[in-house]
Amino acid sequence: MSKILVTGGCGFIGSILVPKLQKIGYEVGVLDSLVYGNLDYYSDRSYDFFNVDIRDESAVKASLKGYSIVVHLAAFGSVINSIENPKQNFEVNTFGTLNLLNASINEGVEKLVFASTGGALIGNAIPPVNEFSIPRPISPYGASKLACEGYCCAFANSFQLPVTSLRFANVIGPNSWHKKGAVTAFYKSIIFDKPINIYGDGLATRDFLYVEDLCEGIISAIQASLKGFNVYHLSSGREVSIGELAKIACEVSGVSQQKIKYQKSRIGEVERNFADSHLAKNDLGFNPTSSLEDSMQLTWNWFKSYAKKNNQHQFTNL
């Protein structure tokens, strides 16, 4: 089978994806700067590892030798951090992706799968959004992902490198302690017995997808015979308010009266966001099977175990 290099492979999604790829027979390499990634997420390190910053084109090029497929997960992934430091966001996401595309052409890569985003890229459009929604990002993070898609499309057409861009919903699951999304924030608040912070009135909505379902979608994109540049939304299609999400977090963790503090809305975050994934279902066979409640329970189980193992908690029921 083809050899696959996964950039950002020591992060949340990569650490779940790599073992799944190995299990079905792929030889996998992992490229990660370890700024956010963690080698400890792997119990079995049976892969080639490249400690490389995606912005270092020569090092990226050297890492690609012998690999025919690239899954590009490495990114500066926080909306709020991108507002605080838009230049760094551009350098890691856009410039880093351009480096990877150049290196892929030079090293004869045959296919690239790019991790994009739905809500941040499209902005405040009326949901459900789809592949034909007009992108109008409202954060530097969303703008960087849109720019990356532009370069991916250009390289697919100029250099005949097939690129599939997958626009992820909000992904939840194990190995996500370092992430900055709502689910991580809620579970850490419960674990450390602090109030849950909700930015805005709790009516803002998102679409949450379990990481195992997402990885099945990525694998389908790897295995699909697609030419040129293609875009797909990977989502659950279920719109959930942040207030409802906090309630589910409390229920699955066994907390009945966790205090909630409502904070001022944050600039750059969309109000409503969920996506229609019918095109991915039709073309890739994408079919997520995990309910939000089950996904939240499985994610909580991992957070509870991680906190107990690392002695990072005040919650008495760990």
Catalytic residues: 141
Q: How far apart are CA 18 and CA 223, in angstroms?
A: 15
- 3-class DSSP state of 63: helix
Residue 209: CB partners within 8 Å, gap ≥ 6? 168, 169, 170, 171, 172, 234, 235, 236, 288, 295
Closest alpha carbon to 292 in 205, 225, 179, 201: 205
Q: How far apart are CA 20 and CA 13, in angstroms?
A: 11
- 3-class DSSP state of 233: strand
Q: How far apart are CA 162 and CA 246, in angstroms?
A: 40
Phi, psi values for residue 67, rounded to 5°? -100, 135
CA separation, residue 196 to residues 182, 184, 209, 248 (Å)? 10, 11, 21, 13
CA separation, residue 278 to residues 130, 149, 168, 232, 236 (Å)? 9, 20, 14, 9, 10
Q: How far apart are CA 81 and CA 186, in angstroms?
A: 19
Q: How far apart are CA 143 and CA 3, in angstroms?
A: 31
Q: What angle do CA 22, 148, 29 make, to 5 degrees?
A: 20
